[in-house]
């Protein structure tokens, strides 16, 4: 199967930038409280490992989703499949784990919302790219 690596790279970059926006501008403090992450922990993290790892994993997720979608896809179908995968597979799986870990509902909503939007965006980009 031929993969469009430019589309995969664009999808990965979109997920990476969405994550930056989601977990900083939009939900930084609520996420920190719900996840129990302190400012000191954030300052102590290695940004190369953190951001480099996040991008590599976004690239892996985008490439795997491109394989799943196949070559005959369009923007609307890609977005629909992405939304379905993000909400019904990834977020539902997070929900099961969070139930057994007694994690806060706020954390589930923040992380699940990101995953749903992330896969919707990935699917839309992969579907829209010629």
Q: For 14-73, what is each residue's pLDDT tens digit? A: 999 999 999 999 999 999 999 999 999 999 999 999 999 999 999 999 999 999 999 889
Q: 65 with 119: CB under 8 angstroms?
A: yes
pLDDT at residue 1 greater than cutoff 80? no
pLDDT at residue 99 greater than cutoff 90? yes
pLDDT in tens, 70-86: 988 999 999 999 999 99
Long-range pairs for 19-23: beta carbons < 8 A, 24 or more residues apart: 19/54, 19/58, 19/114, 19/118, 22/110, 22/113, 22/114, 22/117, 23/114
Long-range pairs for 37-44: beta carbons < 8 A, 24 or more residues apart: none
State the average pLDDT over residues 99-104: 98
Question: Where are the chain's structural domains?
Answer: 5-128
pTM equals 0.94
């Amino acid at each position: 199967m031929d993969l469009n690596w430019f589309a995969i790279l664009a999808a990965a970059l979109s997920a990476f930038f969405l994550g930056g926006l989601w977990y900083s501008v939009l939900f930084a403090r609520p996420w920190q409280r719900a996840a129990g992450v302190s400012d000191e922990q954030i300052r102590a993290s290695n940004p190369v490992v953190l951001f480099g790892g996040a991008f590599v994993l976004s690239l892996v997720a985008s490439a795997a989703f491109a394989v799943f979608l196949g070559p005959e896809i369009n923007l609307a179908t890609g977005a629909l499949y992405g939304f379905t995968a993000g909400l019904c597979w990834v977020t539902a799986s997070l929900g099961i784990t969070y139930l057994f870990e007694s994690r806060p509902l706020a954390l589930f909503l923040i992380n699940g919302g990101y995953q749903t939007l992330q896969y919707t965006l990935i699917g839309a980009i992969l579907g829209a790219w010629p």
